[in-house]
Chains A and B, each alone.
Chain A
Amino acid sequence: MMDALGLAVQLVLSGDPDLLEIVLLSLRVSLTATVVACLIGLPLGALVAVGRFTGRNAVLIVMNALMGLPPVVVGLLVYLHLSRSGPLGFLGLLYTPTAMIIAQTILIAPIVAALSRQVIEDLHAEYAEQFRSLCLTKLQTVQALLWDARYSLLTVGLAGFGRAVAEVGAVIIVGGNIDHLTRVMTTAIALETSKGDLGLALALGIILLVIALGVNAAVQSVRMTAVRQAYV
């Protein structure tokens, strides 16, 4: 155990190229998925937050239910679509980073949508009367709410990223954990642990933790600045 820890520290400090490759791919996949999920989830959340349409309650229930999608199920569904015999098989995306991005996007877009819906609805309750007095259009209202909720929405995005980067079930199914191609931190940890190579597994585990802590600390400090300016 201590040997493994020593090896892990050594791997991290020496900047092992294989390790670096895995970390960078992880970040690329999960950050891209987060950005895409925000592009889909934020407008959707805002629309449901300010919209008054029939079926709104049903949308709310579905959105909240999708938050708890099991990663392996998402992986399986994406696999079925992308596999050679699937409807999107001709794209040849299975076992590529793009497939992993798609799976993670599907996994976290509902989280971004549901959480941002709550944030924006609360803000809208405060602004609605003032905005109606100013005769803003729906679009202007949504834009203003998204901007004024920016610091809370940053936290929402972070929650999505946190779930994506830590997730293993979906990416292992659609990515396949192929060395130098689709191996990310979580799948590598699973593989190395099962092989008994605890050093690499631990090293990756440490990096994963540091990333989680670092991102959280950064967002926290941005929020603190915002709180000081009463922008939250």
Chain B
Amino acid sequence: MSDVCASHVPAAARTAQAAPILPLSVRDLALRFDGATVLDGLSFDLSATGCTMVMGPNGAGKSLLLKLLHGLIRPTAGTIAWGSHDPSAVTARHALVFQKPVLLRRSVAANIDFVLKARGKDARRRDRLLDHVGLGHKARQPARLLSGGEAQRLALARALATDPEVLFLDEPTASLDPASVLAIEAIVAEARNRGVRIVFVTHDTGQARRMADDVLFLQGGRVAEHSRAADFFPAPRSQAARDYLDGRIVV
């Protein structure tokens, strides 16, 4: 695994950073673990702007796809091209909110401070970031005592603290109450309108309808369908997506 993170590339190489990383092009992407194929021949493109909702049944490979795109794991085969860059070369220009966020053993505020400092960002942004996700009043609390939904919101604030050009979200609202779900969606929509490219995994069809510009539907480690939202929800092209939306079990 390469340790190259663009934010730590020497100044001479940094001109390359200004080069656009969008659109994204994925070709014949495959991932195998000890012979078990979990992703198999994925090919798709993501446009420069908007919000892609990634959907599909449990175990379809959604989380692994995000990690591949983010440069955290290497594919067994195929290519991922962020503009002309390899994923691991542009990890610093993305942020990923994990399905199970890992919070530091520190206060809520210190979790944000840490990232701002590590990435050379303005430390004074912390309070605004916490207020932005509705955690201003919890700043002094130990982060690990937050509720599941609050932890997700802190993870989102931490991701936004790095000023990502691409924001990956892996089921960030799975354990949230309805009001918090809408609050998170508003924050993500606001980021999208600022030009942050959103790639959002969800099982919530209502949420997908509200947020999607396009839908990438995975099943069994393959792309079953990649459609514009306006086409997908009224009439999905794939049988897999139709079954999923109807609540039928797909394997």
- Name A's B-contacting residues (CB within 8 A): 126-127, 129-130, 132-138, 140, 144, 147-148, 229-232
Contacts and interface: CB of A to CB of B under 8 A. Distances in A.
Interface string B134-160: 000000001011000000000000000
Given A230-B145, A231-B144, A148 B98 contact: no
B91 A133 contact: yes
A230 B119 contact: no
Nearest to B67: A129
B98 A230 contact: no
Interface stretch (B100-108, B211-219, B228-236): B100-108
A108 B142 CA distance: 33
Interface stretch (B5-13, B19-27, B77-85, B242-250): B5-13
A136 B101 CA distance: 17
Given A148-B105, A231-B142, A135 B6 contact: yes
Contact of B106 (A132, A133, A148): A148
Contact of B142 (A135, A136, A144, A230): A230
B118 to A, nearest CB: 5
Contacts of B70: 133
Given A133-B72, A134-B115, 9 more contacts: A129-B72, A129-B98, A132-B72, A135-B8, A136-B118, A144-B118, A148-B104, A230-B145, A232-B105
18 contacts: A127-B104, A130-B98, A133-B72, A133-B98, A134-B115, A134-B119, A134-B162, A135-B8, A135-B91, A136-B118, A144-B114, A148-B104, A148-B106, A229-B145, A230-B105, A230-B144, A231-B105, A231-B106
Contacts of A127: 102, 104
B130 interface: no
3 interchain residue pairs of minimum CB distance: A230-B144, A135-B5, A229-B142
Contacts of A138: 3
B240 interface: no
B208 interface: no
Interface in B92-135: 92, 94-96, 98, 101-102, 104-106, 114-115, 118-119
A39 B142 CA distance: 28
B106 A140 contact: no
